[in-house]
Each structure stands twice: as structure tokens, then as C-alpha cells.
Amino acid sequence: MSPVERSYLGVPINKPKVAFFEMSSCEGCQLQMLNNEASLLDFLSLVEVVNFREAMTEKGHDYQIAFVEGSITRSDEIDRLKKIRKQADTLVAIGSCACFGGVNQLKNRFELDWVKKEVYGDYPIDTRKVEPLSAHVTVDLEIYGCPIKKEEVERIVTNLVLGKSIEHPKYPICVECKENHNVCLYDLGEPCLGPVTRAGCDSWCPSNRLGCWGCRGPVDEANVTQLKEIMAQHNFTMEQMLDRMECFGGFSEYITEMKK
């Protein structure tokens, strides 16, 4: 099969070799890539997948783009990640765990030896403080969400292949809620981080009547002071909002400000 199969504005497009990897995670983001069969073939026509454990048995180690899911929770993962980074021209962190630490980073709120004892008892286990990929290697691009939204990934990968710029929305999820004609969940008695969370998911959770938990991290210059006022107006406690903001790790720099 020829490596050149498509063209853009008359210019031949070379299919980059890509690989998918996972660190500590549920692998739900990788599963998302396979869920939408309607567009899967079109997506695969843009790239040559050489390593994807959830989708193929073959394993290739010659790739230009590496998509890495999951957070770092063990020492051996650091070594593995650095090897992937050395091989890849472009390293993409996919999902909240890879970008922020994700749900896994909730472990960091407790003393590590206590966590090991409570979870594993006397069984010896190699575990450490949870960190995002960027704590150990240079990350060229982050794709947010828990899980990622496949349509967004397809758009981003298309731009990567075409050499086009990639920009994430600079507005909060509330904008997408308005575009989708959603009733504000605060008016329905549901707390929501939509006012301070980065858009791009097409208000996935609020459109299904579930308040945002901030899995995509904070919008640029998130106005947490305004969020506190909204909370107070709708009789939600500080504990309720902090519980959400601490869930995925993206709002860690704002937690102290929220507690003032």
C-alpha cells in the first residue's frame, strides 16, 4: 500500500506512523477511539497505526506520533515514557490522567504509606505520587477530557496530518451550553463547573443533565471568584464545589484561592 493515499488542496499527504500507549489508567480514552465505527475507517485512512494494544496484535516501534494515555504512578512508567518520548517526533497526552493526573491523583491527598497499606495490605507494591506526563517529559499537545471526545481527537489528528495549527477553545463550557439551548443546571439544582472549565466537549455532560466536573481543566483565566458567587446564590457549599474541582487535578492551582 502506498504511503501517499490522499491529497489536500492538490498536495499529497503522507500518512504518519502513529502509536498508542497507556500508563496507569482505565484505557477508556483509547477505547473511545474505537467506539465510533462510522468514522473509524476515515480516521485510519489518515494515519498508519503501528502500535495499538486495544486494536491490534502487531507491535511496531517506528512511529512519528505517540498518543499516551494515563498518569505516572510507578518508577518503571517514567523509564517507559522517556523511551517513547525519545522515539516520537510528537508526543500527545490524551485524557485527564495524562494531562493532569486525573482521578488517580486523588491518592495524593493522603500519605502514601497509608494508601499502600489500606489498598494493598502487606502485599508489596511499587507506587508513587501520581503525576501527569508533563512532569517527566516534554508534551507537545494535550487532548483533554475523561474520556476524550472522539470527534475532537479526529479533528486534531486531521490538523496534525495536514500541518495546520491546533487551538483549543478559550471560552468556558457555558458557551457551548447556550449554543445547545440547555437549561442552566444551576437552575435545576445541580452544581456545575461549566463557568470555569475549558470548552471543546460540546457541553457533553450538561447536555445530558449532569453538572460538569471539570475533566477538561480550567479555561484561560478562570474566574473562580465569580464561581464562588454563583455557588452562594444557588446555596451550594464550598465543600461541594471543591469536591468537583479536586476530582481530575486540572484545577489544583485554583484550590487554594477557592478556600480563601
User: Is residue 30 within 8 Å of residue 69, measured between CB atoms?
Assistant: yes
- The CATH number given to 4-162 is 3.40.50.700
Residue 82 CA to residue 149 CA, distance in Å, equals 26
Could you tell me the pTM of the whole model? 0.90
Residue that wins the pLDDT comparison between 33 and 202? 202
Banded pLDDT at 255 (limits 50, 70, 90): confident
| Model pLDDT for residues 114-151, shown as the tens digit of each residue | 999 999 999 988 999 999 999 999 999 999 999 999 88
CB under 8 Å to 121, separation ≥6 — which residues?
A: none
**Residue 21, exposed/middle/buried by CB under 10 A (0-12, 13-18, 19+)?**
buried
| Model pLDDT for residues 39-95, shown as the tens digit of each residue | 777 877 889 999 999 989 989 999 999 999 999 999 999 999 999 999 999 999 999
Residue 33 CA to residue 156 CA, distance in Å, equals 13
pLDDT at position 161 over 90: no
Q: In 3-state terms, what secondary structure has residue 99?
A: helix
Q: Where are the domains of the chain?
A: 4-162, 173-258
- Give the sign of the dihedral formed by CA 151, CA 153, CA 156, CA 160: negative
